Amino acid sequence: MATMTHVESRRLYSWWWDSHISPKNSKWLQENLTDMDMKLKSMIKLIEEDADSFAKRAEMYYKKRPELMKLVEEFYRAYRALAERYDHATGALRQAHRTMAEAFPNQIPFAVIDDFPSSSTAAECEPHTPEMSPPAQAFSEIDDLQKDSLRQSAYFHAKKKDGTYSEENDALTSKRRVKQLNEMFASGESTSHPKFAEGKIRKGLNFQGGKGQVTEDKINNVSRYMKKNEVGNKEDVFVKTRSLQDEVSKPSTENQNLTQVKSELDIVDQAESEIHRLQESLSRLETEKEAAQLQYHKSMENISYLEMEISHAQADNRKLKSEMLITLARLEMKKQALEMEVIDLAQQTNKKQQEVEKQDEMKKLKCSVQDEQVQYTQAAAVLQSLEKLHSQSLEKLSITALELQSGVEKLQDMELRNRSLEEVIQQVKEANNYLHKELMLKEEELKKVNVSIQDERLLLVQAEEAIQSMRN
C-alpha cells in the first residue's frame, strides 16, 4: 500500500489544515503554535509512512515508535505551556473582577466563580487606589474609558474573527481597565450619574462577555442592579440587557465540543482507513501464503521425483557392479585353470626329457656291456647284437623324436591357447575399463542429482522459514 497523496492527507487531516492561525499580538504564542505545527507535521509523516511487507512495517513500527513518543511528549509540553499561559490570563481576569467587587461592593456583585486556583502571576495584581480628581477630570476619564472600551471591544471581535486573539494582551488590557474603573468610581461621580455609570458598567461587561468570562448569573445580577439604580427608561434598559444576554449567549464551549467531535470523527476515519489498509495487507499476505504453499507442494513433488530417479540410478549401479564382479571372477577362474594346464604340460615335458636321458644312459651302459661281452664272445655275435641294438636305438630315437615333436606341437598349441586367453583377458580388461568409465559417469550424475536435491531442500527450508515468519 503506497503512501497517501497530499490531497488525501489534507482531506484526512482537515481539522488541522483548517485550524492554522497566525497571532500578531504575541510573538511567544506565534512561535509556540509554529513549533506545534512542525511537530504535528512530523507526527503525521511518521504515521502515514508505510512499507511493502508486514515485516518491514513491524520493523518501522519498533524503530519509529520512540521518535513518535518523543514528538508526542514535546507536543504535550507545548500544549501545557499554552494551558499555563491561558491559566495566567484567566487568573488576571479573575483578579480584575475581585478588584472591581472590592471597589464597588454595593453596586457590582462578585459573580465570578473560581473553579480553579488562580496562577501566581494573577495573585500579584494588587488593587490600586488612585488619587481623587475633580468632577471634570472624572468625566473626561469616563469618556476616555468609554472610547477605549468601544475600541477594545471592536478590536477584540475583529481579532477573534481573524483568529489572532492573544490571551497575554487580554490580561494586560484587563489590568488597565480595572485601574481606570477604580479611578472613575473613586471620584464619587457614579452616585450622581447612575445612568451614565450603568452604561459604562454594561459596556465593560460586554467587553468581558466577548471573552467568554461572564456567565448568565452575572448578567442577571447586573440586570437586577440596573433595575434598582436606574432613573430613566426601563424599556431601554431591558433592551440593552437583552442585547447583552444575546451577545454573551454565544457559547465558546459548543465550538470547542464541535471541534473535539470533529477531531474524534477524523480519528475514527483515520482508524477505519488504517483497518482497511491492514485488511488489504492481510489479504495480500494470504495470497503470498497460498503461493508459498503451492511452491512448497511443487518442491516436494520435485524432491520425490528426484529421489525415485536416484533410487533407480543406484539400483542400476548396483546391478552393473554385480555383473562386473561376476565376469571378473569367471575370467580369474579361467586364467587360473589355464595357468595350471601350462604348469602340468611343462612338468610332463620335463619328465619325458628325463626318461629320454635315462634311456640314453641305459643304452650306453648296454653298449659298454655288449662291447665287453663282444670282447669275450664272438665278434659275429657282437656285430649282430650291435646291429640289433643299433636298429633298436634308431627305432627308439625315431619314437623319441616323434614324441618330442608331438610335445613341441602341444607346447605350440598351449602357446596359441595362452595367447587367445591373453586376448580374452585384454578384452575383459577393456570391458572393465568401459564399465568403470560408465560407473564414473553415473557417480557424477548422482553427485549432480544430490546437489540439485540439496538446492531444492534449501529452497524448501527458506520457504518454510518464510511461512513461519508470516504466521508469527
Q: Is 112 helix (H, G, I), strand (E, B) or coil?
A: coil
Report pLDDT digits (tens) over 98-151: 877 776 665 544 444 444 444 333 333 333 333 343 333 433 444 444 444 444
pLDDT at position 188 is 41
Among 93, 95, 117, 77, which Cα is nearest to 168's?
Answer: 93
Q: Are 167 and 92 in contact (CB under 8 A)?
A: no
pLDDT at position 332 is 80
Taking residues 85-100, report their average pLDDT. 79
Q: In terms of pLDDT, which residue wins out, 297 or 140?
A: 297
Q: Are 237 and 226 in contact (CB under 8 A)?
A: yes
Judge whether residue 345 has pLDDT over 70.
yes
pLDDT at position 24 is 66
Q: In terms of pLDDT, which residue wins out, 23 or 61?
A: 61
C-alpha triplet 466, 467, 471: angle, nearest 5°: 115
Report pLDDT digits (tens) over 415-469: 888 888 888 888 888 888 888 888 888 888 888 888 888 888 888 888 888 888 8
Report pLDDT digits (tens) over 250-286: 545 555 666 776 676 777 677 777 777 777 777 777 7
- Angstrom distance (rounded) from CA 336 to CA 442: 32
Taking residues 180-189, report their average pLDDT. 45
**Where is 385: in which H helix or E strand?**
helix 379-471
C-alpha triplet 361, 365, 367: angle, nearest 5°: 115
Among 172, 164, 82, 182, which Cα is nearest to 121's?
Answer: 172
Q: pTM score, two decimals?
A: 0.24
* Dihedral, CA of residue 295, residue 299, residue 305 and residue 307, to nearest 10: -170
| Whole-number Cα distances in Å, 302 to 298, 306, 311, 312, 323 | 6, 6, 14, 15, 32
pLDDT at position 297 is 77
Angle of helix 54-103 versus helix 167-186 axis, rounded to 10: 10
pLDDT at position 23 is 63
Look-up: residue for cell 479573575? 94
Q: In terms of pLDDT, which residue wins out, 98 or 379?
A: 98
Judge whether residue 312 has pLDDT over 50.
yes
Taking residues 241-250, report their average pLDDT. 54
Length of the chain: 472
Categorize the per-residue pLDDT at 200 as very low, low, confident or very high, splitting at 50, 70 and 90.
very low
